[in-house]
């Protein structure tokens, strides 16, 4: 029963992705062509409020619902993996018009062909796991 | 109210809801990052016995799989009960650019040219969706996160690695859009 809250948050997330049209291939094209503020507005609003909120969480040592401190782990310092991995993801994001969240939302929306994108994304992650140690990080 | 629910939502309202989800997850002791589920699914399939990267206690990530399942339900609910069926109100310039690549004007939220079954069962259509998926799955794990983990959670925590990753997202996206699309379509 503890996981019901995550189900509800996921449902809200799916609805927001759909209602904001962030799940649309067209919107991602519009974004990468810098022809609309829409996607930048969505991400920008989330980031701006996120910066503010996380700063407040840190300042006031806010605790989570179980009383544990909310901690933020700094990501490992590197350039290669983020730039190279990010660019590979970006190629796929522009091509399929969806990042992992919207891929799932699209399946629920009725675009069952996105299930194939999802399947291949799992395979892509699996391939990364196989060759990880041979890649520069 | 009904009108509000069925119309597309504004960027600021959507942005507020997305960051609210991030804060709820933080409050529940979790972090917002959807691509981690792809790794969890690999681990749950049992490949951890052979590939070390997938050898971890994936049950601790069940909450995120539940979140992912919820997002599928959310997509269903939005389409069934909250949609006015109108096509995406795309910028004129984007419509013109896509027309030039051979795409017709939007009639829904996704191009038929890519996501209809007719398209999927052509070699090119299959290749596009398969390659898109592979790149997304490989790239997110290599970069250690996707839009939710880096562009939202990471940037909100002012993490330099996330900024580098987001720059990478755009390098890849721009190469695809301006370099590869003209060859592909």
pLDDT recorded at residue B23: 97
Q: Could you tell me which chain B residue has the CA closest to the CA of A97?
A: B132
List the helix and strand counts (H, then E) for chain B: 11, 0
Q: Which residues of B touch A42 (CB under 8 A)?
A: 11, 14-15, 18
Nearest to A111 by CA among B109, B125, B124: B109
Do B85 and A26 form a contact (C-beta atoms < 8 A)?
no
Q: Give pLDDT tens digits for B117-162.
A: 999 999 999 999 999 999 999 999 999 999 999 999 999 999 999 9
pLDDT recorded at residue B2: 76
To which residue do tokens 């994001």 refer? Answer: A93
pLDDT at residue B166 above 80? yes
To which residue do tokens 């399942």 refer? Answer: B69
A86 Cα to chain B: minimum distance (Å): 4
| DSSP-H helix ranges across chain A | 4-19, 25-32, 38-59, 80-96, 100-109, 114-131
Do B34 and B145 form a contact (C-beta atoms < 8 A)?
no
When pLDDT is averaged across residues A42-51 and rounded to a whole number, the result is 98
Q: Considering only residues 68 to 127 of chain A, which have any Cβ-Cβ distance to chain B shorter than 8 Å?
A: 68, 70, 72, 74-79, 81-101, 103-111, 113-114, 116-127
pLDDT at residue A2 above 90? no
Do B81 and B54 form a contact (C-beta atoms < 8 A)?
no
In this structure, what token pair is assigned to residue B63?
Answer: 């909450």
Cα–Cα distance between B40 and B179 in angstroms, integer?
33
Predicted ipTM of the assembly: 0.96
pLDDT confidence bin for B4, thresholds 50/70/90: confident
In this structure, what token pair is assigned to residue A32?
Answer: 């990468």
When pLDDT is averaged across residues A42-59 and rounded to a whole number, the result is 97
Global pTM value: 0.96
Cα–Cα distance between A102 and B165 in angstroms, integer?
19
Interchain pair A82, B161: CB under 8 A: yes
pLDDT at residue A33 above 80? yes
To which residue do tokens 């038929």 refer? Answer: B112
pLDDT recorded at residue B183: 96
**Chain A contact probe: residue of B74, B85, B177 with most A CBs at under 10 A:** B74
Do B82 and A18 form a contact (C-beta atoms < 8 A)?
yes
Q: Give pLDDT tens digits for A91-124.
A: 999 999 999 999 999 999 999 999 999 999 999 9
Cα–Cα distance between A24 and A32 in angstroms, integer?
13
pLDDT recorded at residue B6: 87
SS3 at position B8: coil
Averaged confidence pLDDT in chain B: 96
pLDDT recorded at residue A118: 98
Q: Give pLDDT tens digits for B13-52.
A: 999 999 999 999 999 999 999 999 999 999 999 999 999 9
Interchain pair B138, A128: CB under 8 A: yes
Interchain pair A124, B139: CB under 8 A: yes
When pLDDT is averaged across residues A4-14 and rounded to a whole number, the result is 98
**Chain B contact probe: residue of A2, A43, A50, A72 with most B CBs at under 10 A:** A50
Cα–Cα distance between B174 and A29 in angstroms, integer?
10
């Amino acid at each position: 029963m503890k996981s019901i809250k995550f189900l509800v948050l996921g449902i809200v997330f799916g609805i927001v992705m759909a209602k904001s049209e962030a799940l649309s291939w067209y919107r991602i094209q519009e974004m990468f062509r810098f022809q609309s503020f829409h996607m930048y507005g969505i991400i920008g609003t989330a980031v701006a409020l996120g910066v503010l909120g996380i700063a407040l969480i840190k300042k006031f040592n806010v605790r989570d619902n179980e009383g544990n401190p909310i901690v933020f782990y700094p990501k490992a310092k590197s350039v290669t993996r983020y730039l190279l991995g990010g660019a590979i993801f970006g190629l796929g994001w522009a091509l399929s018009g969806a990042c992992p969240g919207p891929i799932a939302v699209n399946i629920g929306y009725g675009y069952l062909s996105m299930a194939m994108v999802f399947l291949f994304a799992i395979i892509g992650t699996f391939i990364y796991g196989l060759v990880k140690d041979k890649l520069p990080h | 109210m009904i009108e509000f629910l069925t119309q597309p939502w504004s960027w600021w309202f959507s942005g507020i809801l997305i960051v609210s989800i991030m804060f709820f997850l933080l409050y529940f002791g979790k972090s917002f990052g959807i691509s981690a589920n792809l790794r969890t699914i690999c681990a749950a399939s049992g490949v951890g016995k052979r590939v070390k990267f997938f050898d971890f206690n994936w049950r601790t990530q069940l909450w995120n799989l539940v979140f992912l399942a919820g997002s599928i339900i959310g997509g269903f609910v939005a389409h069934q009960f909250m949609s006015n069926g109108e096509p995406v109100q795309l910028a004129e310039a984007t419509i013109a650019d896509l027309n030039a690549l051979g795409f017709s004007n939007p009639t829904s939220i996704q191009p038929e040219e890519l996501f209809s079954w007719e398209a999927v069962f052509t070699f090119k259509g299959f290749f596009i969706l398969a390659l898109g998926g592979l790149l997304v799955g490989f790239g997110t794990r290599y970069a250690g996160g996707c839009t939710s983990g880096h562009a939202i959670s990471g940037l909100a925590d002012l993490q330099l690695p996330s900024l580098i990753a987001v720059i990478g997202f755009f390098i890849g996206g721009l190469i695809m859009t301006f370099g590869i699309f003209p060859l592909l379509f």
